Structure 1
Amino acid sequence: MNDVIDSSLGSDSATSAVDALPGQVGQTRRPFSGLGSTVTGTGTTTGSWAESTHSVIWLTRGGNRLPLARVGRRSWGTNLISVAVIALTSLIAASNLLDVYGSAAMWAVAAVPATLLGALIAYAGTAPALRLWWQIVFLIVAQGVIGPVIALNDTAISHVIPSVETLSQGFVSTFGAFKYLIAVPPPTGSGDGSLMAAWTICLWLSFLAGVFAIGDKRQLSVLSLLPIAIELVVCALLGTQTGFQPIASGVLIGLIMIVWLSWRWQLLELGRWISATIILLLAAGLGVGACMGIGQSRLILRDYYDPPLSPYDYASPLSGLRSYVKDHKDDTLLTVTNLPEGTPVRLAVMDQFDGNVWNLSDSTEASDSSDYRRVGTRIPNTVDGKKFTATFTIDKGLSDKWLPLAGAASSVDVTSAGKTGGANGNGGGESRSSADHTLFYYNESTQSAIIPAGLSTGMTYTESGIIAPTPTDKEIAKANAAVTNQPGTKDVPDSVGKFASSVAGGEDTAGAQAQALVAQLKDSGWFSHGLTGDYPSLPGHGSYRINALLAGSAMVGDSEQYASAMALMARELGLPSRVVMGFLPKNDDGDISNDRTETVNGISTVKFTGNDIEAWVEINLEGYGWVAFYPTPK
């Protein structure tokens, strides 16, 4: 429009138009002479209008307005508004991490103060005395001291003063937190200093965006979009497939930056707010529509992370069952408080039989038993049932890699590491920090965990979880087998199939077949650990031992043999089965009993000994999931 006005007006008419503008009464104007024109104290100009480089609208708006590139330092209020806009857009970009940490409050503990600090440090650059070197000092303090105190608050003295552990772990977590977020399925909670990832991202990128936003040259303020865009991308890569309203956050950042840049460049005409609003709404609509028109699949780094743990490398825990009974029959190995009465505690779950032992399937098998993933203090849990929060204490003698847990865990918080036990669990090892023991891997399908650092005497942790309801005998008898991918069994003796067919082949449902197998084994078998004074009973649970149990002259064994035999027979009948090893609160007859739990002053406690370590079988039934069966005779 300006070009049309310029071309349609001659120098005389242009001069008249200028003289006729309101607000210019009493001032004498002469034609401009282009770049060589001068401005007098009375507003008088010299030169010709045709030589001017700007339109009449530009020249008359504001009288003495300077060109865009020549605007000097702005007021402190204007700069403060700019850094406030940067802080707001930075937080919107970082909101993609909300689902990762699990709650807005936990995310805000790191993201909000880090963003505000980054923006304020950038704003400090408006004071020449604080520019550059002092800003670097502020950033180092914020990153190396304030961040660790917030992210690793439990290590700080009185939760305020940083300790040596706070500073050292803070330095490690500055880089390690990013790997932690990629390796741990959300929500991660605040374990292992994971909040340092959000702190680092928000602090540095809000600072960089703020520096560009308040620069002396307005043209360079558009560069503040780059750190915000980087933050949005990084948080999306570390986030989840859903994220926090990814479309809304992206569109909102775009609209805020458009309005702010228009104001920053003095192109925002408030008198045209209706048309400006319509344009923004159209832009938002087009942005949302474009996003809805394309696929919403995100590139998430976590989906491409290959956990380094290989559970198949761990020896079969079932092979060591009898050694616990032999060496620690009456020794307390595990103490649990506030656990619901009669609740089993599992150690390991095995679904692959190679002819010698039951073990976890390797990663090449179509099974979930090896799907152990590193988790934080919080664990995804979709199980319905009874909620509980129990505290576990590892006592002398329990020195394995399998972390005792009950039910389906929602969170596990290791608070004390105690001392590491020796190879035989006799204690006396060096002290280990809690951080060494917070690293563990959890399998949601088998509800079991591996802790690479190993259990240690005095180790204490708290589990919050859910115990699924147990179906009744009538419900089990009517249930069919669920479709389950499992590895095949190898070198199974013929006696297993013959025994299974003769006992349960005539039953109509999977649940009834499992009940028939349990009843036959408990009624026909005899129990013996084969220890001194016991009836002879060989250890092991491979093909030779199971054949001796089922086809020998006498059916004698303990839970290691009976669980292995029933799981193999279930497989022969087409039932998905697996062997579980753990602690059972049993009475003298071997049955689960609520009487094992003692309650004093409202606190319930159950103590498990080496004699309480048992093996049992789980069958996957349609509508009920994995249901436990206990085939060991009294």
Structure 2
Amino acid sequence: MSAQQRSAAPEGVWSTAISMALVAAMLVAAMIPWWPIYESTAFVVAATVAIVAGSGIGLAGARFHWPAWAVVVAVFGAYVTLGVPAAVPGSAIAGVIVTPHGLVELLAGAALSWKQLVTIAVPVGSYQALLVPAFLLALVTATTAVTIALRSRRPAAAVIPPALLLLAGIALGVVHATLAVETGLAFLVTSIAWLVRVAIARRRAITTGRPVEAALADARRVLGASALVAVALVGATAAAVALPSPPRSVVRAELQPPFEPREHESPLAGFRTAFEPDTTDDEMLEVTGLPPGAGLRIATLDTYDGIVYNVGGNDGTGESGRFTRVPYRLDQGDVDGTSTHLEVLVLGYDDVWVPGVGQLERITFGGDRAPVLADGFFYNDVTGTGAVQTGLSAGDRYTADSITPLRPESLESLQPGTSVLPASPAMPDELGPLLDEWAPASGTPGQRLQGMISGLKATGFVSHGTEDEEFSRSGHSLDRIIELAEERPMLGDGEQYAVAAALMAREIGFPARTVVGYLSDPEEPQVGAGEAVVFERDDLQAWIEVQTAEGEWVPIDPNPTPREIPEREPDQPTVVSRPQSALPPPAERTPVDDLDPDPDLTLDQPDQGIEPWVEALLAALAVAGFVLLGLAVLVSPFLAIIVAKLRRRRLRRRAPTPVERIEGGWQEFADSAADYGYPIRQNATRAEQAATVGGLGPLVLASVVDRAVYAPDGPADGDDERVWDTVDELQERLGAPRTRRDRLRAAISLNSLAGYAVTRRGARP
């Protein structure tokens, strides 16, 4: 070997090493936007393994002149061999040895993990196979970039694969500016360094065959282009920092989440079922670590349509309706409060909503169903509401780390926040006088809020409407809130007081929403730190949250303390003005006239031949006849209404087909509810109409009717009779707690006849 060859060999090794290092630097810079997605050392390991393996494959292909198919096979072999320990470490034995289960997850993740990655809350850590996209892209990108750098006639194009990797990290990442400037500068510097390296290598290659001036001219062109790119990127970065810009849109911000809160019933709709006498003592949850005086939230409701308070915006597209998966942890660094560690054991609770406090940072499930619950857990950080698709059941357990906002010492110092909540109906006029009395407009917003809460607590009385309590109608529609405002004494429970407080708080100016959860009985001794508290079914309560000017949501309990309920005040009598008589007034009489006998009485009258008692009887019968005729004229419209309803009921019950008879049964119940004053909408579903009435019975009947009407094989024999028996029972329940006057008003009400509250075909399923 000549001296020239010996000197060229080390120079080729150094040149390759420098090229490999610069390409690796571009790849590392391109991986920076991926960090906020994972924020885990497992991501660093996966990215490092992918870059090293891909660079090695590219180097070996260039060194041994592999064909393209051999490089592809090598990439696939590296993916299968290194993918499980690097990208699915949870399925590898000791984090290194490949398992069949891990291999299946790795191969499936190449196709499925992309969608999961953009529909899950970040950071995801090493959850399931979500490291696969980063590992696979880094492996392919590293192999491609090194191959272009060492084997292509245009090595400058090696900057393109890392640039695409950078854009993929930005598109699949999160919408915030963390590390944005640093990422741009890092990729800019490494890219320019690579272009300079290419220019230098090119100059050396052409020096031996071309004049030095030509080589320098080529180098100047490359360096000039690099300088222009650098100036453009630096200028764009400076403009982005100095000038305001609209928020960046990424893939995850455009995808719809898989959990739809509107498919589940509002926790407030079935509020009264928790106070049925036979089940009030059922143990629901055992909780350790709950802050003193804090409530355990089931769900936060921010959408009110005048009938039902629900989760997730009017159409489910708002931020409060977007639930994402939380496999690792959430960053709650911008929330002021104290750290809370909850340990929850599920006893009798069975619902999709996951109780918690504050803003969730991390949740870990335990028990036999831990993997199923972890896979199906979704969370909305706007309302702090969590849910699992399969629902919780007895024996499930979980631990939750959260940030609980600090409670203000006084409500009077609060100022309203600026959050925009889903639109809701205006506060009923009947609440206006109460708000003016308790919270005059002359006070500050905080003072008015304090006055309103104090007024509700002082004026209201608590009754759940059970058999041993004063009657109190369930529901939280606007007509029920109006009834709460007008009734004396004011009578209701958390379902009504929370909604009324939220409406009045919004009227004052505070963004307000309703919370359903569990509250300990204030009369029971408070548990110490670290002790477990067991919530029973009747510990269910509803309260409100208002947002302050600092952006914090402050919980406020507007419910009165349970105490003896005074006697119901009589209704105010209705003053009926009498019509003026059309007869002229009697003539004035003088004292002399009073002394003189009536001249008409002195005249001789002919003998009529009728006994006086018969004459009196005939006169009485005539008067009675006229009275009955007048009553018949007055009552005839009401009788016509009752007859029309009876005929309608007869036609429905004797309809030609079982399906029509079953539909007619639901129509009969819905019309009865409308006659009793419930705001039944004809375009609502049966479940929504049942929720308007409240109680478990209507909901069960609605479900049975939907199943019978839309079952593929039609209803079973006798279903129509059972439906009508249930309708009769529910109609009796509607009328039982009401007075005779109320039942009469319902019988002659036109609510179900004036255009029908329910169409002939009935409500939608």
TM-score range, shorter chain: 0.7 to 0.9
Q: Which moved more, 1:276-285 or 1:312-321?
A: 276-285
204, 213, 218: which one pairs with 2:149? 213
Following TM superposition, by how much is the alpha carbon of 1:254 offset from its aligned partner in structure 2, in angstroms?
1.6
CA distance in 2, matches of 1:367, 1:299: 16
* Contact 1:214/1:221 (<8 A) preserved: yes
Following TM superposition, by how much is the alpha carbon of 1:192 offset from its aligned partner in structure 2, in angstroms?
4.3
* Contact 1:412/1:463 (<8 A) preserved: yes
**Pair 1:321 & 2:271 matched:** yes
Query: Which residue does the alignment assign to 2:114?
Result: 178
Specify every segment of 5 or more residues in structure 1 that has no aligned partner in the other structure, as ranges. 1-40, 43-61, 66-70, 420-430
364, 370, 375: which one pairs with 1:436? 375
Query: Which residue does the alignment assign to 2:748?
Result: none
CA distance in 1, matches of 2:299, 2:13: 63
Question: Structure 1, residues 389-423: CA drift from partner, whole Å, max 9, x if none?
Answer: 524435143222222221122x223344644xxxx
* Contact 1:579/1:617 (<8 A) preserved: yes
**Pair 1:98 & 2:22 matched:** no
Q: Report the AA paired with residue 555 of structure 1.
A: M
Following TM superposition, by how much is the alpha carbon of 1:558 offset from its aligned partner in structure 2, in angstroms?
2.1
**Pair 1:225 & 2:159 matched:** yes
CA distance in 2, matches of 1:389, 1:159: 32
558, 576, 584: which one pairs with 1:631? 558
CA distance in 2, matches of 1:414, 1:127: 49
* Contact 1:354/1:491 (<8 A) preserved: no
Matches within 5 A, 1:25-64: none
* Contact 1:334/1:608 (<8 A) preserved: yes
Specify every segment of 5 or more residues in structure 2 that has no aligned partner in the other structure, as ranges. 562-765
Query: Which residue does the alignment assign to 2:535?
Result: 608
Partner secondary structure for residue 406 of structure 1: coil
Aligned length: 541
* Contact 2:351/2:392 (<8 A) preserved: yes
Matches within 5 A, 1:281-430: 286-294=228-236, 296=240, 300-307=250-257, 309-326=259-276, 329-360=280-311, 362=313, 369-409=320-360, 411-416=361-366, 418-419=368-369
CA distance in 2, matches of 1:486, 1:531: 34
* Contact 1:521/1:631 (<8 A) preserved: yes
Question: Structure 1, residues 523-550: CA drift from partner, whole Å, max 9, x if none?
Answer: 2222233335344333222223323333
* Contact 2:284/2:536 (<8 A) preserved: yes
Query: Residues 395 and 277 of structure 1: is their aligned pair in 2 closer, same or farther, counting only changes over 3 Å?
Result: farther
Q: Report the AA paired with residue 301 of structure 2.
A: M
* Contact 1:355/1:492 (<8 A) preserved: no
* Contact 1:185/1:375 (<8 A) preserved: yes
509, 515, 537: which one pairs with 2:444? 509
Q: Report the AA paired with residue 252 of structure 2.
A: R
CA distance in 2, matches of 1:366, 1:233: 27
Query: Residues 263 and 339 of structure 1: is their aligned pair in 2 closer, same or farther, counting only changes over 3 Å?
Result: farther
124, 127, 131: which one pairs with 1:195? 131
TM-score normalized with structure 2 length: 0.62
Q: Report the AA paired with residue 545 of structure 2.
A: E
Following TM superposition, by how much is the alpha carbon of 1:616 offset from its aligned partner in structure 2, in angstroms?
0.2
The answer to which structure, 1 or 2, has the higher relative contact order (CA under 8 A, 6+ apart) is: 1
Query: Which residue does the alignment assign to 1:617?
Result: 544
Query: Residues 236 and 574 of structure 1: is their aligned pair in 2 closer, same or farther, counting only changes over 3 Å?
Result: closer
Q: Which moved more, 1:83-92 or 1:279-288?
A: 279-288
**In angstroms, what is the RMSD of aligned CA positions?**
4.0
**Pair 1:139 & 2:75 matched:** yes
CA distance in 1, matches of 2:386, 2:36: 23
Query: Which residue does the alignment assign to 1:51?
Result: none
Query: Residues 64 and 156 of structure 1: is their aligned pair in 2 closer, same or farther, counting only changes over 3 Å?
Result: closer
Q: Which moved more, 1:322-331 or 1:400-409?
A: 322-331
Partner secondary structure for residue 161 of structure 1: coil
CA distance in 2, matches of 1:536, 1:143: 69
* Contact 1:394/1:455 (<8 A) preserved: no
Partner secondary structure for residue 454 of structure 2: helix
CA distance in 2, matches of 1:207, 1:435: 36
Query: Residues 531 and 261 of structure 1: is their aligned pair in 2 closer, same or farther, counting only changes over 3 Å?
Result: same
Following TM superposition, by how much is the alpha carbon of 1:577 offset from its aligned partner in structure 2, in angstroms?
1.9
Query: Residues 585 and 149 of structure 1: is their aligned pair in 2 closer, same or farther, counting only changes over 3 Å?
Result: farther
CA distance in 2, matches of 1:630, 1:483: 22
Query: Which residue does the alignment assign to 1:45?
Result: none
Matches within 5 A, 1:477-496: 477-490=412-425, 493-496=428-431
* Contact 1:335/1:395 (<8 A) preserved: yes
Question: Structure 1, residues 309-338: CA drift from partner, whole Å, max 9, x if none?
Answer: 443343221112232444753333333334
CA distance in 2, matches of 1:276, 1:387: 63
Question: Structure 1, residues 75-102: CA drift from partner, whole Å, max 9, x if none?
Answer: 6665455434333321221112123323
* Contact 1:393/1:461 (<8 A) preserved: yes
Query: Residues 355 and 334 of structure 1: is their aligned pair in 2 closer, same or farther, counting only changes over 3 Å?
Result: same
Q: Report the AA paired with residue 296 of structure 2.
A: V
Following TM superposition, by how much is the alpha carbon of 1:479 offset from its aligned partner in structure 2, in angstroms?
2.8
Query: Which residue does the alignment assign to 1:15?
Result: none
Query: Which residue does the alignment assign to 1:499?
Result: 434
What's the % identity of the aligned pairs? Answer: 27
Question: Structure 1, residues 286-329: CA drift from partner, whole Å, max 9, x if none?
Answer: 54432243354666333433445443343221112232444753
**Pair 1:596 & 2:527 matched:** yes
CA distance in 1, matches of 2:9, 2:445: 82
Following TM superposition, by how much is the alpha carbon of 1:512 offset from its aligned partner in structure 2, in angstroms?
1.7
Partner secondary structure for residue 176 of structure 1: helix
Following TM superposition, by how much is the alpha carbon of 1:118 offset from its aligned partner in structure 2, in angstroms?
1.4
Following TM superposition, by how much is the alpha carbon of 1:249 offset from its aligned partner in structure 2, in angstroms?
2.3
Following TM superposition, by how much is the alpha carbon of 1:206 offset from its aligned partner in structure 2, in angstroms?
0.5
522, 530, 533: which one pairs with 2:465? 530
CA distance in 2, matches of 1:319, 1:188: 35
Query: Residues 389 and 482 of structure 1: is their aligned pair in 2 closer, same or farther, counting only changes over 3 Å?
Result: closer
* Contact 1:481/1:509 (<8 A) preserved: no
Q: Report the AA paired with residue 153 of structure 1.
A: P
Q: Report the AA paired with residue 229 of structure 1.
A: A
CA distance in 1, matches of 2:300, 2:259: 16
TM-score normalized with structure 1 length: 0.74
* Contact 2:289/2:343 (<8 A) preserved: no
Query: Which residue does the alignment assign to 2:487?
Result: 552
Question: Structure 1, residues 354-377: CA drift from partner, whole Å, max 9, x if none?
Answer: 222212353569975435445442
Query: Which residue does the alignment assign to 1:32?
Result: none
Query: Residues 605 and 175 of structure 1: is their aligned pair in 2 closer, same or farther, counting only changes over 3 Å?
Result: farther
Q: Which moved more, 1:555-564 or 1:138-147?
A: 138-147
* Contact 2:30/2:166 (<8 A) preserved: yes
Q: Report the AA paired with residue 558 of structure 2.
A: P
78, 81, 85: which one pairs with 2:22? 85
